[in-house]
Structure 1
Amino acid sequence: MSGIIVVLIGALLCFYGIRSLHLAVLALGFGLGWFVADLFNPSLSVLFLFGLIGAVASWVVTTLVFKFSAYLVGGLAGALVGARTADVVQTGDKDWALSAIVIIAVAVAAAFLADKYRERALLWLTSIGGASMILNGLGRTTDVLDFLRHPEPGWKQLVATVAWVALSVAGWMIQRHLFGEKLGIKVQVVGKKKAADSAG
């Protein structure tokens, strides 16, 4: 059941994240709290508690400093992506220091990208972050898919990474198509062909 909830929140972020920054902030905060706690294999109730704390804290902070909302949303998305990356690249027992370095580095880089490129960067970041949540949730639904949560080196790590990239690209394409106007992407119809401006 917990896996389905994470999949649904991840799908909201991956395929609808750029539409509403409030929903994106709540989903990113929940995902970040969940992923950070999940690095240490806690109980399900602790995971939900950390997820809820992350969602509320993220929303409050972003609301208080709305002027810097793109920067903060980018940082949250980057931290979520960093937590997933730390989980994928480490096998066995997780190293807290290495995880913290990866999470902070990706969060800072994503925050600056979001501040500079706004919606286009957030489009990528919400797609990547949402895809990571979907895979984590799917990994919780059955033992067969557990490798999507904590892939072991070899083919499982490769498949999990390819699935992450493919799902991220799918989320990017769907959001770009649905919310092109919000992103400033103009689509012109010439005969039967559509020419679209390139999106970052």
Structure 2
Amino acid sequence: MVAVSGLVVVGVGIVLCFFGIGSVHVAILASGFGLGWLLADLFAASTWTALLIAAGSALITEILVALVFKVARFVVGLVAGSLIGAKLYAVTAAGDRNVLLAVVVVVATALVFGFLADKFRERVLLWATALGGAGLILSGLGLVWPDPLGFLRHPQPGSEQALSTVLWVALAAAGWLTQRRLFPRALNLRGAREDDDRRARVQDA
């Protein structure tokens, strides 16, 4: 059961990291799920409890965005930022679980990404989904193979922290590059605009 739940987490992380910017609803559900699971895992909830919390978190996030769709980017940035904050705390806390510090880190990161996403839109959401998804993938891998890769989930101070951080950044960069290639129009990249201009000129001719 632990391995299966880990594969579910890895799958959700892949969707968020490599395809999150392609659909607001996908980003909402994946970010909400990831946030719920990481917070539950951070404080040693059982596997079933963590999955139930993750599913409930995804549903609540989707309902929240449906109610306030005009600020959807802010909410997605907020939730993805919370996911990043939870993973950041998991990487840096190294076994020292302080609830107050965890709340401060998660809330602060969430607000930063929420406001940045509202101002800079898809460019920030790209980074938020890539970082959040990458963190989720690594945590899931640590759950699937706890002996060789358990440090990806709860690294110890020193080399494990450093390696976990490097892998997180590298995987997020891969997700960032992949999403830029897959969804140039969603990001309003210059190449996509030039393609649209060429098509418009051909149609006019």
TM-score, normalising length: structure 2: 0.90
Shift of residue 91, structure 1, vs aligned partner: 2.0
Instruction: Identify which of 171, 177, 181 aligns with 2:175.
Output: 171
Residue 157 of structure 1 pairs with residue 181 of structure 2: no
Larger Rg: 2
Instruction: Identify which of 54, 64, 84 aligns with 1:61.
Output: 64
Q: Deviation string for 1:37-96 (max 9, x for gaps)?
A: 111111101100110110000000011000000000000010000000111111224100
Mapped to 2, the partners of 1:101 and 1:87 lie a distance apart of: 13
Mapped to 2, the partners of 1:186 and 1:84 lie a distance apart of: 33
Could you tell me which amino acid in structure 2 is paired with residue 78 of structure 1?
Answer: G
Whether the aligned pair in 1 keeps the contact of 2:40 and 2:53 (CA below 8 Å) is yes
Residue 90 of structure 1 pairs with residue 90 of structure 2: no
Whether the aligned pair in 1 keeps the contact of 2:94 and 2:161 (CA below 8 Å) is no
Identity %: 48
Mapped to 2, the partners of 1:48 and 1:114 lie a distance apart of: 27
Could you tell me which amino acid in structure 1 is paired with residue 177 of structure 2?
Answer: M
Aligned to 2:74: 71
Question: What does 1:104-143 align with in structure 2 at a 5 Å threshold?
Answer: 104-142=107-145, 143=147
Mapped to 2, the partners of 1:172 and 1:67 lie a distance apart of: 25
Aligned to 2:53: 50
Instruction: Identify which of 1, 6, 19 aligns with 1:3.
Output: 6
Structure (1 or 2) with the greater helix fraction? 2
Shift of residue 141, structure 1, vs aligned partner: 1.1
State the secondary structure of the residue aligned to 1:94.
Answer: coil
Shift of residue 186, structure 1, vs aligned partner: 2.3
Q: After TM superposition, where is structure 1 displaced by more than 3 Å over at least 4 residues in a row?
A: none
Aligned to 1:148: 152
Could you tell me which amino acid in structure 1 is paired with residue 75 of structure 2?
Answer: L
Aligned to 1:198: none
Aligned to 1:191: none
Instruction: Identify which of 17, 23, 26 aligns with 2:29.
Output: 26
Shift of residue 174, structure 1, vs aligned partner: 0.3
Mapped to 2, the partners of 1:23 and 1:178 lie a distance apart of: 15
Could you tell me which amino acid in structure 1 is paired with residue 162 of structure 2?
Answer: L
Could you tell me which amino acid in structure 2 is paired with residue 185 of structure 1?
Answer: L
* Root mean square deviation, CA, Å: 0.9
Mapped to 1, the partners of 2:119 and 2:97 lie a distance apart of: 33
Mapped to 1, the partners of 2:16 and 2:152 lie a distance apart of: 18
Mapped to 1, the partners of 2:154 and 2:94 lie a distance apart of: 8
Q: Count how many residue pairs are aligned between Structure 1 and Structure 2.
A: 188
Mapped to 2, the partners of 1:167 and 1:2 lie a distance apart of: 21
